[in-house]
Amino acid sequence: MRWKPLSEALGFYGLVLVAIWTGQSLGLRGQVWIGAVLLLGATVVSSRKHGDGRDRLGLGRNTLGPSARLTLLYAGPALVLLSFAALFRPVPPWPKILFGLVGYPLWAFAQEYALLSFAANRLEEGLGQRPSLVATVNGVLFALVHTPNPVLMGACLLSGWVFTKIFLKTRNILPLALAHALGGFLLSWILLNQYNGMMVGPAYWKWAGVPGPHP
């Protein structure tokens, strides 16, 4: 076990939790987003420092096909179920649909870069070639940063574990980011009438019971 790469991954998740809970408690908004950009920047710096190339980061072209096939195999059924559930919910307003099609995929890619290209690689370096253990730890940590929202925690625990396993096997994040974007958009659609449905941190409790649509 190597503690230095482990400390990078654990420290990153810890700082995300601190940014969410402290920022919301102090009523900060813009500063939290600035912090998020800085934290993502830190993951890029870490990747460069560790000499992670395009293939190890999951940005190569040769592994796109295998990753897409496994993503479709394991995430496809869940996305079909979410799509079916969304059909019985009110259609989101056009601004939300536009954000879901244009803005959220970028945010999903950023999250998958942090989850896989950074955290999964550092955890693998720290824990060794033990994909099930790496995936479990990464999934749990990914779920924890979505505390205390039970729906998002459950979704992130499962997707974090599955996506990490797929990434360690195929080394490509692009299909996984697309699955994340589609799954997140559908979940947002299903939870549209729950104001705190997509919230984490103190905001989840603050807005509990308030009717939607969520911001």
Token couple for 171: 């080394």
Max Cα–Cα distance, the chain, nearest Å: 50
Q: How far apart are CA 178 and CA 186, in angstroms?
A: 12
Q: Quote the DSSP letter at residue 90.
A: P
Q: What is the mean pLDDT of residues 107-123?
A: 96
Question: For 17-30, what is each residue's pLDDT tens digit?
Answer: 999 999 888 887 76
Token couple for 59: 């940005």
pLDDT at res. 30: 62
Enter the pTM of the model: 0.93
pLDDT at res. 65: 97
Count of beta carbons in the 10 Å neighbourhood of residue 145: 24
What percentage of the chain carries pLDDT values higher than 70? 98
Question: For 141-185, what is each residue's pLDDT tens digit?
Answer: 999 999 999 999 999 999 999 999 999 999 999 999 999 999 999
- CA of residue 105 relative to chain centroid, distance: 11
Count of beta carbons in the 10 Å neighbourhood of residue 79: 15
* CA-CA-CA-CA torsion sign (186, 191, 196, 202): negative
